[in-house]
Structure 1
Amino acid sequence: MKAVLSKEVGGPEKLVVEDVPSPSYGKGQVLIRVKACGVNFPDSLIIQDMYQFKPPRPFSPGGEIAGIVEALGEGVHHVKVGDKVLASIGNGGMAELAVASQHTVMPIPEGMPFEEAAAFLMTYGTSYYALKDRADPKPGEKLLVLGAAGGVGIAAVELGKAMGLEVIAACSSQDKVDFCLGKGADKGLVYARELDKDAQKKFSDDIKDVSGGGVDIIYDGVGGAYAEPALRAMNWEGRFLVIGFPAGIPKLPLNLTLLKSCDVRGVFWGAAVARDPKGHQQNVAELFRLYKDGLIRPHVSNTYPLEQSADAIRELMDRRATGKVVVLVD
């Protein structure tokens, strides 16, 4: 089978496409013929040895797949050969065949295309866990989404609206803000691509202006110099959700949390899934209902063939994507 391989530490330019043996599978595992693989920010980190997990090389990036069940290991009964499924696998998805643990494999809802299925679980799973389980949202509260036009960001915009929140989308360009407004955001603002002290103060003032004084929940999928000015625009007893750090890992002055009596809450969706699989299954069932009701739908902004997987990851790293980028394997 063909697979995209990380054989040495580095960026997308270090990836190669090679013919490799089909992966072996065992008890409690499912062999899936991959049709589509979602591209996510961790894919850019894992190939540079900058992610929490470092699989032994060579390995294929791609932790989110959709495809057809090829074979079943012992003890797998909830799906059968030929079923259309999606799965979260950590890595190994940018290949013609991939192996998934049975608890991560779920049938694709009726009418959901493979490319949407491959763009669904990680972004909506992360954002739903963040907002539902970590943010304690109350209808009418104000939600600020940083990096709102990206995969998890636009999922947070849609889910925030579905939860009855007032959603403010913050992006690096007006085109991205307009995209978010088209996906249901109530308001939007543009932040500078580089923030010095003056730009940080302006960003904080802009948040206060557009929100009418401050926000109750901050969904920070950007990090870097954007985190502190956002926190300065937090309302009393607000909740700051730590999602990711494409702009760098920020350092927050803890006196701000005291002055605002607010919380900083980490969001590690992957670990939460492993610790509470039943809660994860319940969340996914609720997400599928929201999809069926037309309240959420993955926005696949670009697709690439397997041989151009490196370009797909590069698009994400360069922050050019709006919504989700997907590699089509077949």
Structure 2
Amino acid sequence: MMRGKYQDTPALPFTLGMEVAGVVEALGPGTGGPPPGTRVAVFGGSGGLADLGTYPADRTVPLPDAVDDISAAALQIAYGTSHVALDHKARLQPGETLVVLGAAGGVGLTAVELGHLMGATVVAIARGTEKLEVARAAGADHLIDAEDPDIRGRIKALGGADVVYDAVGGDLFRAAFRAMKPEGRILVIGHASGDVPQVPANHLLVKNIDLLGFYWGGYMSFRPKVVTDSLATLLQWAAEGRIKPHVSQVLPLERAQEGLDLLKSRASTGKVVITL
């Protein structure tokens, strides 16, 4: 977004900061709520790195008392992406097999955690023992190293995939695609490998497979209620202690540039949260 290359970069000038948690200070004319004094979370898209922000009221979600502001700000994109993808888009059911590619990554790990919470059998695919153990701790039932020469065979030996969550693309996508069950659903979340795979449409036809493109932020422009309903569910789960976002740094607003530098240098291991 800072480089002007993000698909939803606002028009200049704009303030960075997409995920916000705070207290409602005032309402615009004709706005029904939430009333001033209410603690809320909001995915604003921009404007978060400021003392005050102005957002559409229907994008706000009241915070349960048990959820602190730092957790509320940190969970929105990472958990929201996986929850809307798995629940709303892929219709993941208890007992189904979910294969997560890049399972130790930022969104991949939340897909493992939420898939487990939703009652699926979770197959985590990541590179190396250390990353696979992180996925196991998040709730993965089966682990497959991304360097395994027969990922397709490993998935098929577990019965095949009902849902594939793919933020990687490339060879991992191709292997998982070939291990889909009939009527399986494959979620295209991103292409971290840099390799955007081409899909043989005849295979979709023969196996009745659904190929589902998914961009969480896009829902804010045409169906924001999908996102706000999902955030309400996630915040309730956070209040119950069922999910807890990993926050690696908490910095004051005066050190916001330091927080951005941590992201650019990939020096953070979790979310970087800026406080007032």
Shared fold (TM-score, shorter chain, > 0.5): yes
Q: Output aligned runs, 1:278-317, within 5 Å.
A: 278-304=225-251, 305-315=255-265
Higher strand share goes to which structure?
Answer: 1
What is the aligned partner in structure 2 of residue 73 from structure 1?
28
Q: Secondary structure at the match of 1:289?
A: helix
Q: Secondary structure at the match of 2:31?
A: coil
In structure 1, list runs of 5 or more residues that go unmatched: 1-45, 193-198
**Match of residue 241, structure 1, among 180, 184, 187:** 187
**Deviations 1:25-67 (CA, angstroms, capped at 9, x unpaired):** xxxxxxxxxxxxxxxxxxxxx2333322232234333211112
What is the aligned partner in structure 2 of residue 157 from structure 1?
112
- Percent identical: 38
**53 and 191 in structure 1: CA distance in 2 versus 1, 3 angstrom threshold:** same
Does residue 269 (structure 1) correspond to residue 216 (structure 2)? The answer is: yes
CA contact 1:205–1:233 (8 Å) conserved in 2: yes
Does residue 103 (structure 1) correspond to residue 53 (structure 2)? The answer is: no
**Deviations 1:257-300 (CA, angstroms, capped at 9, x unpaired):** 23433111112223334433444443333333333333222222
Q: Secondary structure at the match of 2:272?
A: strand
CA RMSD, aligned part only?
2.5
Amino acid at match of 1:152: V
Amino acid at match of 1:138: Q
Q: Output aligned runs, 1:13-24, within 5 Å.
A: none
In structure 2, list runs of 5 or more residues that go unmatched: none
Q: Secondary structure at the match of 1:67?
A: strand
**Match of residue 232, structure 1, among 165, 178, 182:** 178
CA contact 1:94–1:327 (8 Å) conserved in 2: no
C-alpha distance in structure 2 between counterparts of 1:268 and 1:177, whole Å: 26
**188 and 303 in structure 1: CA distance in 2 versus 1, 3 angstrom threshold:** farther
**Deviations 1:75-109 (CA, angstroms, capped at 9, x unpaired):** 33423334322111112223343332211122221
C-alpha distance in structure 2 between counterparts of 1:310 and 1:281, whole Å: 26
Aligned residues: 272
**Deviations 1:212-257 (CA, angstroms, capped at 9, x unpaired):** 1421100112224432222122222210001122322512231432
What is the aligned partner in structure 2 of residue 117 from structure 1?
72
- Structure 1 range deviating more: 275-284 or 98-107: 275-284
**62 and 190 in structure 1: CA distance in 2 versus 1, 3 angstrom threshold:** farther
**169 and 321 in structure 1: CA distance in 2 versus 1, 3 angstrom threshold:** farther
C-alpha distance in structure 2 between counterparts of 1:263 and 1:88, whole Å: 29
CA contact 2:21–2:69 (8 Å) conserved in 1: yes
Amino acid at match of 1:214: G
Q: Which has the higher contact order (CA 8 A, sep 6+)?
A: 1
C-alpha distance in structure 2 between counterparts of 1:321 and 1:146, whole Å: 21
**Deviations 1:176-204 (CA, angstroms, capped at 9, x unpaired):** 22122112121222324xxxxxx7x5343
C-alpha distance in structure 1 between counterparts of 2:16 and 2:129, whole Å: 32
What is the aligned partner in structure 1 of residue 273 from structure 2?
327
TM-score (norm 2): 0.86
Amino acid at match of 1:285: A
C-alpha distance in structure 1 between counterparts of 2:223 and 2:11, whole Å: 27
Amino acid at match of 1:74: P
Q: Output aligned runs, 1:131-280, within 5 Å.
A: 131-192=86-147, 201-209=149-157, 212-248=158-194, 250-254=196-200, 255-280=202-227
**165 and 66 in structure 1: CA distance in 2 versus 1, 3 angstrom threshold:** same
C-alpha distance in structure 1 between counterparts of 2:274 and 2:175, whole Å: 39
C-alpha distance in structure 2 between counterparts of 1:284 and 1:59, whole Å: 25
- Structure 1 range deviating more: 239-248 or 271-280: 271-280
TM-score (norm 1): 0.73
What is the aligned partner in structure 2 of residue 26 from structure 1?
none
Q: Secondary structure at the match of 1:140?
A: coil
C-alpha distance in structure 1 between counterparts of 2:58 and 2:183, whole Å: 37
